[in-house]
Structure 1
């Protein structure tokens, strides 16, 4: 077991509903050999999993620690809908024995990672007008849930603001989308963006199409994507088309709100899975379908983040920025 010098590393973690990934970082660089994944069900809380990791890394004593969580963060405390853990700065400081700690929403962490992701892990979907390094950017996360975070460059450093965009109303452009909204409302009481633009949302779109056809059937999102790749299920292709068109509409709406001339970045497992199909199913057309502002939408390039460690990198970058600030 490697014995690591105290206060020589920072600890970074990405806490999901099922698993927690933890790593050590030096400056903005995550050390790949130190990345470990733990099942949340095996631990009673954040403190126990971090202490287990520190022991596994030779009783490492980090200088600072930052975690990214899939949920809203307020006043140093995070709330997660699928995990009954106490996640706050006091717990993080005690567990990691760190002098400096931070808690980020997972999309904030992705935003802090921009500029530190290898080009090989970026897939361009739409080109756009080039912009300066200080231009605003926008990260949109599509995975277990949906969210977005704008990234602002300021004289005092980068600011990534949190939101809960996935819980805004679904946009409605067609009669089919209206019926889809009504279908979601009947099941959940409110047609939120996340109810369609997520892994579970794709399953709902597929089930909705079955109801429309009078042939009810429900399958898992991964099976829908498999059927799409195989070309064996026309309903899977139609569900994917609806998903992509709504994603384009929502991403376009968010872009008009934030004006990300520095680019729109799609993150998350579902976004990565749809990467090969966005052009095929009309993402760009839906993204730019803004009436007299259709031409203006070409200002915003769209790229998929294919780096599974981006949230960890973002946590490392945030700690590096905090160190610079003293």
Structure 2
């Protein structure tokens, strides 16, 4: 086992709806050999995950700790949206022994990572003009859930504001989309963006198309993506096309809200799975389909971040800023 220096490293964690990723960082740099992934279903809570990690790292003594949670953070308490877990600063300090602790929303962490990622993990989807270093940016995450966070460069440093965009109403442009809204609202009594734009959302889109064809079938998201790649199921392709068009519409709406001239960055496991299909399935067209503002939408480049550990980098970056 590698011996870690005492009271110099930071512990960073990204808690998603399905998995938790944990690593050690020296400054803003993640230590590659320290990155571990844990299945949330095997643990009763985040504190147990962190204690397990520290034990596996030989009882490492950390100077700082920052976790990113897939849910809202209020008054220093993070509550998971799709998992019955919560975390506060006192518990984080007790679990890690760190002197400096922070809790972020997962999209906030992704926002703090911008500018600290290698170009090799950036996949351009929609081109746009160059912008100045102070231009606003927007991070949109599609995975177990959906969310977005604007990123602002201020005189006091970077500001990444939290949000819960996945629980806003789905946009409706066509009769078919209205029927989709009515179909998915049975899940929670409300047709939210996340009910379509997420892993489970893709499954609902597929089920909706089956209901429309009087051939109801339930298929897991992973199997839908496999069938899409292999070309073995026309309905999988149809579901993916509808998913991508709605993603483009929602991303365009959010861009008009925040004016991210510095770029829109798509993150998350579902985003990465769809990356090869975004251009061919009409993401750019849906993104820019804003009537008389269609030309204005060309100001916003869109990039997919193909880095499963970007939120960890963001946590490390945030801790460095806190210590500055």
CA drift at 1:22: 1.0
Q: Matched residue of 2:279: which SS?
A: coil
4+ residue runs over 6 A deviation = none
- Mapped contact 1:13–1:66 kept (Cα < 8 A): yes
Measured against aligned partners, the alpha-carbon deviations of 1:3-40 in whole angstroms (never above 9, x if no partner) come to: 32221101101112332211110111111100112233
Q: Distance in 1 between matches of 2:277 and 2:39?
A: 31
Q: Give the unaligned 5+ runs of structure 2.
A: none
1:1-326 matched pairs, under 5 angstroms: 1-324=1-324
Query: CA-atom RMSD, angstroms?
Result: 1.1
Tell me: CA distance 1:215–1:22, structure 2 relative to 1, closer, same or farther (3 Å). Answer: same
Would you say the 8 A contact 1:46–1:91 is kept in 2? no
CA distance in 1, matches of 2:93, 2:187: 41
State the Cα deviation string for residues 56-110 of structure 1 (Å, max 9, x = none): 2122111100001111111110111343334110000111111100001111110
Q: How many Å separate the matches in 1 of 2:158 and 2:260?
A: 14
Q: Is the 8 A contact 1:111 1:314 kept in 2?
A: yes
Task: Tell me the distance in 1 between the aligned counterparts of 2:94 and 2:260.
Answer: 38
Q: Structure 1 46/300 Cα, relative in aligned 2: closer, same or farther at 3 Å?
A: same
Range moving further from structure 2, 283-292 or 181-190: 181-190
1: CA distance, partners of 2:140 / 2:30 = 22
CA, structure 1 residues 132+58, in 2 after alignment: closer, same or farther (shift >3 Å)?
A: same
Q: Give deviations 1:193-242, integer Å, cap 9, x for gaps.
A: 00011111111111111111111111011111111111121111111111
Q: Give the Cα separation in 1 of the matches to 2:160 and 2:76.
A: 15
Provide the secondary structure at the position in 2 that maps to 1:186: coil
Shift of 1:2: 2.8
Distance 1:227 1:301, change over 3 A: same
The 1:87–1:173 alpha-carbon spacing in structure 2 relative to 1, beyond 3 Å, is same
Give 1:129 shift.
1.2
TM-score, normalization: structure 2?
0.97
Hey, what's the Cα distance between the residues in 2 that align with 1:155 and 1:312? 25
CA distance change for structure 1 residues 39 and 240 in 2, over 3 Å: closer, same or farther?
closer
SS at match of 2:101: strand
Local SS of the residue matching 2:206: helix
How many residues align? The count is 324
Contact kept in structure 1, 2:82 and 2:145, CA below 8 Å? no
1:30 to 1:194, Cα distance in 2 relative to 1, 3 A: same
**Partners in 2 of 1:84 and 1:94 — Cα distance?**
20
Aligned partners of 2:16 and 2:144 also within 8 Å: no
Q: Is the 8 A contact 1:4 1:59 kept in 2?
A: no
Residue by residue over 1:141-185, the C-alpha shift from the partner in whole angstroms, topping out at 9 and shown as x without a partner, is 011110000000011110100100000000000111011111112
2:185 aligned counterpart, secondary structure: helix
**In structure 2, distance between residues paired with 1:118 and 1:92:** 29
TM-score, normalisation: structure 1: 0.97
User: CA contact under 8 A between 1:3 and 1:59: conserved in structure 2?
Assistant: no
Which stretch shows the higher mean deviation, 1-10 or 190-199?
A: 1-10
